[in-house]
Homo-oligomer: A and B are copies of this chain.
Amino acid sequence: MSRTTVSHEEGAIYEFTPTLDPIATVEPGAELTIETRDSLDGAVQTDDDLIESVPEEVNAATGPIEVAGAEPGDVLAVEIEDVRLAEDRGRVVTIDGFGLLDGHEDIEAPRTKVTPVAEDSTPDADVVTDAVIEFGDHEIAVDPCIGTIGVAPASDSYTTLVPHDHGGNLDTTDVSAGNTIYFPVFQNGAMLAMGDSKAAMADGEMCGTGAEIATDIDVTVRVIDGDDVAVELDRPLIETPDAWKTVASAESMEEACELANLDAIDLFATEHGFGPTEAYMFSSLVGGLEISQVVDPLVTVRNAIPKTHCDGPF
């Protein structure tokens, strides 16, 4: 099967709604290259380009892509094979009204730091690619992730600034090459869209951005019949080589932790025959809670489950 390219120039959304019109339709099993622009639509090219306030349109998500045959109750699997940088610079910004330390004395907003892509000046023979971004005279290893990725939601609409049960602005470092992200399908065709990639990002995304950059993303999409899923997904789930990670977004971190933990408990209870309390206790011993982002303004938390303790729901 040849790889299909879908570009942001064909279409990109700034809102995940229940009734999205696809710009492309693909079959389950399709191999795609999805071209994305940076989250700020190219507005920042130098340190002098400042973002005065959160733009009304941000995090353009290339798509929507209809996956033929996907129906509500199914699961859409997006296997991420590669995330390649598609421009020569990323950018980190602070924006007034946004970020973990918004309003703190000493923290200035707006500020911009452009991070040029370069070759590592001290390459490591163990690493296949040695691309870095430059932050002043500091080099940071390129480790791309996809910030915004999701499907058409069940009933409400969400701008691409926020995450929720449909995905959206999850800003999760594990949404990266080598991992698979699974979404509940809420609408016929699923309506996948993604963008807002980072050349590098810390867990938490504290200042409100990673190194925002355009990328070309290789994925394979698959549809898992709802009847073949051991635990119904209410929210995204990520599979890494070593772990399953439930992903939950909510207004407070405490609430996001609760949802991510409840989803992990469901996985443990179903697979191991635990009662809920026993599964809760088990969840308190292995893997654990991780922070995706604390700024979007809904926050996102993961509950990681080592595969040694869970085969997963598929």
**Residue in B closest to A281 when the chains form the complex, CB atoms:** B92
* Number of residues on chain A facing chain B (CB within 8 A): 61
Given the known interface contacts A92-B285, A272-B138, the answer about A277 and B108 at a Cβ–Cβ threshold of 8 Å is yes
In angstroms, Cα B253 to Cα A108, docked, is 23
Question: Once the chains are docked, how many angstroms separate the CA of A261 from the CA of B93?
Answer: 17
> Is there a chain B Cβ closer than 8 Å to A14's Cβ?
no
- The reply on A205 being an interface residue by CB < 8 A is yes
Interface membership of chain A positions 230-259, coded 1 if the CB is closer than 8 angstroms to chain B and 0 otherwise: 000000000000000000000011100110
Q: Which of A101, A108, A309 has the most CB of B within 10 A?
A: A101
> Is A65 in contact with chain B by the CB < 8 A criterion?
no
Q: Nearest B residue to A265 by beta-carbon distance? A: B101
Contact of A205 with B284 in the complex, beta carbons under 8 Å: yes
B100 touches A258 (CB 8 A): yes
CA distance A206 to B258 in the complex (A): 9
Check if A107 is an interface residue, CB within 8 A of chain B. Answer: yes
Question: What's the least CB distance linking A246 to chain B, in Å?
Answer: 12
A111 close to B (CB within 8 Å): yes
Q: Is the CB of B280 within 8 A of A94?
A: yes
Q: Are B206 and A284 in contact (CB under 8 A)?
A: yes
> Which interface residue of A104, A109, A285, A289 has the most chain B CB atoms within 10 A?
A285
Q: Which residue of B has the minimal Cβ distance to A264?
A: B206
Residues 193-217 of A, flagged 1 when their CB comes within 8 A of B and 0 if not, give 0000000111111111111000000
A291 an interface residue at 8 Å Cβ cutoff?
yes
Taking CB atoms, residues of chain B closer than 8 Å to A283 are 202, 206-207
Partner of A113, one of B204, B210, B281: B281
A-B contact pairs, 30 of them (CB 8 A): A92-B284, A92-B285, A100-B254, A100-B258, A101-B262, A104-B258, A107-B280, A109-B277, A111-B281, A115-B285, A136-B278, A138-B272, A138-B309, A200-B285, A200-B286, A202-B284, A203-B287, A203-B288, A204-B257, A204-B261, A204-B284, A206-B257, A206-B261, A207-B281, A207-B283, A210-B285, A252-B252, A253-B254, A257-B291, A291-B301
User: What is the CA–CA distance of A309 and B99 in the complex, to the nearest angstrom?
Assistant: 22
Decide if A277 touches B135 in the complex (CB within 8 Å).
no
At the interface, yes or no: A106 with Cβ under 8 Å from chain B?
A: yes
Which of A94, A208, A291 has the most chain B CB within a 10 Å cutoff? A291
